[in-house]
Amino acid sequence: MRGDDDCETRPFYLMTELTLPIRIVLIETSHPGNIGAVARAMKNMGLRELHLVNPREFPHSEAIARASGADDLLDSAVLHTSMQDAIADCGLVIGTSARQRHIPFVPIEPRECAQLVVNKARDGNPVALVFGTERTGLTNSELALCGHLVTIPTSDVYSSLNVAMAVQIIAYEVRLAAREAMPVHLREDPLASQADMERFYEHLQAVLAGTNFRDHTSSGHLMSRVRRLFNRALVDQNEMRILRGILTAVQENMK
Amino acid sequence: MRGDDDCETRPFYLMTELTLPIRIVLIETSHPGNIGAVARAMKNMGLRELHLVNPREFPHSEAIARASGADDLLDSAVLHTSMQDAIADCGLVIGTSARQRHIPFVPIEPRECAQLVVNKARDGNPVALVFGTERTGLTNSELALCGHLVTIPTSDVYSSLNVAMAVQIIAYEVRLAAREAMPVHLREDPLASQADMERFYEHLQAVLAGTNFRDHTSSGHLMSRVRRLFNRALVDQNEMRILRGILTAVQENMK
């Protein structure tokens, strides 16, 4: 999957994991386990800067347990006594909110948010993504400190995202946005050529001609159905050898 | 954010939350808390069908606690004793895997996966998204039952997504895909079920057993290569009749 193009993709990873100045700010988090789960969600997506405003309990063993190997982010977390302090050096501050709140903001969605975050961070602007308390989210005075509000689209009848789940979705979108314009190439087996495919269809027809197989399709276009099936599958060269091998073996064993 | 267009959006929600036949299948989940967190992640995104294959402990108080109001999905969860049983009636089966595994699959990403899932589900085909155990993911024999493999892009240096986080990201992408404008859809033939596919593979093996066909693949896993090819093709019921007809005709004409 990676192989030869390792050298090309590494600079990308270096950039997204170490250089882009994007921080997650958690306000007055009640459950230390959630802080650990947020660290894990962030590290999976290559984000490293965790800022905590007045966490109820921190550090805490439950945070470490839920971080599951992302405890280096807990060790380097920056503690603040106010949201103002946590965002003081940021050029862009984005608040997060559940869908139903009556607030004087037109929220953006995570995908659009991620574009904005990555664009600004690439220009060297520190960016903060701010998450409120588990029970009540951001207060109106905290929202007033935000330039944008992001809302994750959720069900009409149940909207109750855990804070770490919300961080996970937004961090995932940030990762995808950071990766864009730098396509990563997946390595595949080379596909069978169209000439190979034609030889396979001829071979199959020869096998069928040796049987009493009748075309029962309504339109009588059996081979066109078979072609559609195999063309859709995008048969690779190795698979083609297997298919031809099967046909040859069957032929040798026919009456 | 909603207001006036409530009436227009409601049919969409009805459809995505009640009608699209998309199930989450969890294999041998160790921690009951994770099952609850998965239910919560699903319900937030409007998915409701939870299938459990040999969970270590279920039902369990921790599952209910972590479900946080999504315990109706736990109540309606379907229990199975094998993955085959959990996917028997499905037309499309998608496995999930961490990025680093050395598996003979070209994985798709969640966004592409969601398009595929929603398209097939809209045509009425039950779709399964399958998640392996917390420690080791899906086994190779479980992966062999999947038509596609989805991998969430994660950090190059830390790839350790909790199963509920993985469900959250994929369910989020499914929700976005389901929400997109619904273009007039050409109706396709319904897909062959996984039970039909199993009968086809058995039939093919019976035919091969009657020949001197030898497995020349480097790994000796000929049938797994064949399965991958046909699973990827998403064979419809009409095509399945043709494939079975070919095998029967060949069988009748063998020495």
- CA dist., res. B180 & res. B48, Å (int): 20
Outline where chain A has alpha helix (H): 6-14, 32-44, 61-67, 71-75, 83-87, 110-122, 140-143, 163-179, 194-209, 222-233, 237-252
pLDDT at residue B140, rounded to an integer: 87
Element (H, E) at A5: none
From the centroid of its chain, how far is CA A1? Answer: 17
pLDDT at residue B99, rounded to an integer: 64
Short-list B229, B141, B243, B228, CA closest to B196: B243
pLDDT at residue A99, rounded to an integer: 64
Element (H, E) at B52: strand B49-53
Q: Is A160 on the interface with B (CB under 8 A)?
A: yes
From the centroid of its chain, how far is CA A84? Answer: 30
pLDDT at residue A90, rounded to an integer: 85
Strand partners, B250: none
Domains and CATH numbers, chain B: 3-179 (3.40.1280.10), 194-252 (1.10.8.590)
Helix axes A237-252 and B194-209, enclosed angle (nearest 10)? 50
pLDDT at residue A79, rounded to an integer: 98
Cis peptide before A153 (omega within 30 of 0): no
Partner-chain contact B216 A162, CB within 8 Å: no
Interface residue of A16, A162, A170, A186 to substitute, partner B, most B CBs within 10 Å: A162
Residues of chain B numbered 62-91 and touching chain A (CB < 8 Å): 68-70
Residue B217 confidence class, pLDDT cut points 50, 70, 90:
low
Partner-chain contact B44 A217, CB within 8 Å: no
pLDDT at residue B7, rounded to an integer: 32
pLDDT at residue B6, rounded to an integer: 34
Strand partners, B92: B127
Element (H, E) at B30: none
Short-list B102, B77, B100, B116, CA closest to B161: B100
Closest-CA residue in chain B for A166?
B168
pLDDT at residue A98, rounded to an integer: 81
Indicate if the pLDDT at residue B43 is higher than 90.
yes
Where b means 16+ CB within 10 Å and e means fewer, A90-105 reads bebbbbbbbeebebeb
pLDDT at residue B153, rounded to an integer: 93
- CA dist., res. A34 & res. A157, Å (int): 24
pLDDT at residue A119, rounded to an integer: 87
pLDDT at residue A14, rounded to an integer: 41
SS3 B51: strand
pLDDT at residue A190, rounded to an integer: 76
- CA dist., res. A116 & res. A128, Å (int): 12
SS3 B146: coil
Neighbouring CB atoms inside 10 A of A84's CB total 11
Q: Model ipTM?
A: 0.78
- CA dist., res. B133 & res. B30, Å (int): 7
* pLDDT tens-place string over residues B80-130: 999 999 999 999 999 998 865 566 677 899 999 999 999 999 988 999 999
Tell me how close the Cα of A179 comes to any Cα of chain B, in angstroms: 10
Q: Residues A235, A197: contact at Cβ < 8 Å?
A: yes
Tell me how close the Cα of A77 comes to any Cα of chain B, in angstroms: 18
Q: Is B216 on the interface with A (CB under 8 A)?
A: yes
Tell me how close the Cα of A171 comes to any Cα of chain B, in angstroms: 10
Closest-CA residue in chain B for A249?
B213
Partner-chain contact B208 A249, CB within 8 Å: yes
pLDDT at residue B218, rounded to an integer: 63
Residues in chain A predicted with pLDDT less than 50, given as ranges, are 1-16, 18, 181-187
pLDDT at residue A184, rounded to an integer: 41
pLDDT at residue A10, rounded to an integer: 35
Partner-chain contact B172 A152, CB within 8 Å: yes
- Calculate ∠ Cα A166-A169-A174, nearest 5°: 120
Q: Residues B192, B236: contact at Cβ < 8 Å?
A: yes
